[in-house]
Amino acid sequence: AVQAAPRHFLGLLDLSAGELRRILDTSERIKRARRKGAVQEWRPLAGKTLAMIFDRPSTRTRVSFDVGMRELGGETIMLTGAEMQLGRGETIADTARVLSRYVEAIVARILSQDEMLEMAAHATVPVINGLTKQSHPCQVMADILTFEEWRGPIRGRKVAWSGDYNNVLSSWIDASARFDFTLDIACPPDLQPPAERLAAARVAGARIRLGDDPQAAVADAAAVISDCWVSMGDEDEGRRHNLLAPYQVNAGLMAGAAPDAIFMHCLPAHRGEEVTDEVIDGPRSAVWDEAENRLHAQKGVLAWCLGVEP
Ligand code: CP
Ligand code: NVA
């Protein structure tokens, strides 16, 4: 029999707006039904195993997938490249072929987007992108869920980004195309999204404004988003800190956004750098809900990849 192609979750633009919305609906339903510490009733992944390959540190992605898989009834195996034959030169393709014979899905955090795509090309089970240098789609699913809990439908709204062009911003750009909101970006001239990246997103329907003035970007924004100045894999000789200092989200910058604007950040945060204590600990900071929603969003992603619906 011909096997259907696995449902990978590699980037937001690979899925339709309808599919992404279904994942969020599932996430929300699972969240509402969940009682912490209780055995969940809906355990559609019983008997299934998720391989988790983490080549870089992680707190949220790792724990939310691990707990999420277990709460849906499944099992997990935590792996790092260094302790697999991958670290001794076995190819990504062969690793993907072999893991596919043991487990029902793979989540991976590897910096190289090409390696992530190669893993997906050779796996016969779904591969989930748990962060590459180029994208962090699972994060932004949780972010959309969080925004909508705090402020209602994101469609037609404006959110602002102040800081570096990195994987999280890249997935927010994709999200703008699929969830139909305006993303107003302020990045230092030397750290901006490549023009061809923006052009492709705009063709897909993204509504993006790009500049280098954070005050202009946040004007009337319903959310102000920031992230670290030095992402995993970026060398820093202090250059980024100098370039990014004016992009700090502090009370002054928040004052220029809509009066009820929320603050969002994927975490981990570098307090005193990209955000001040006052903002991240303030009443409009959504970051703890955002972190919690990783769990619910990851369950939604797992359910979609494995073809189960509540
Ligand atoms: N936000 C996020 O992905 O966090 P971790 O690096 O802890 O997984
Ligand atoms: N942009 C950050 C996100 C960490 C979750 C990084 O890539 O390090």
pLDDT tens, position by position, 67-97: 999 999 999 999 998 899 998 999 999 999 9
Pair 165, 300 in one domain: no
Domain assignment present for residue 48? The answer is: yes
Domain assignment present for residue 5? The answer is: no
Pair 47, 105 in one domain: yes
Domain assignment present for residue 4? The answer is: no
Domain assignment present for residue 167? The answer is: yes
Q: What are the binding residues for carbamoyl phosphate?
A: 58-61, 85, 109, 136-139, 266-267, 294
The DSSP code for 271 is B
ipTM: 0.99
The DSSP code for 52 is E
Give the pocket of ligand 1 (CB within 6 Å). Answer: 58-62, 131, 139, 266-267
- Residue 71, H or E segment: helix 60-71
Q: Total domain count for the chain? A: 2
Which residues span the domain enclosing 187? 139-290
Domain assignment present for residue 7? The answer is: no
Give the pocket of ligand 2 (CB within 6 Å). Answer: 166-168, 227-228, 231-232, 266
Q: Does the pTM of the predicted model rise above 0.90?
A: yes
Domain assignment present for residue 3? The answer is: no
Query: Whole-number mean pLDDT of the chain?
Result: 96
Query: pLDDT digit string (tens) for 119-133?
Result: 999 999 999 999 999
Residue tagged active-site, from 136, 240, 265, 296: 136
- Residue 27, H or E segment: helix 17-33
CB 250 within 8 A of CB 279: yes
DSSP per residue over 180-237, as a string? T-EEEEE--GGGPPPHHHHHHHHHTT-EEEEES-HHHHHTT-SEEEE--SS-TT---S
In the chain, pLDDT over 90 holds for what percent of residues?
94
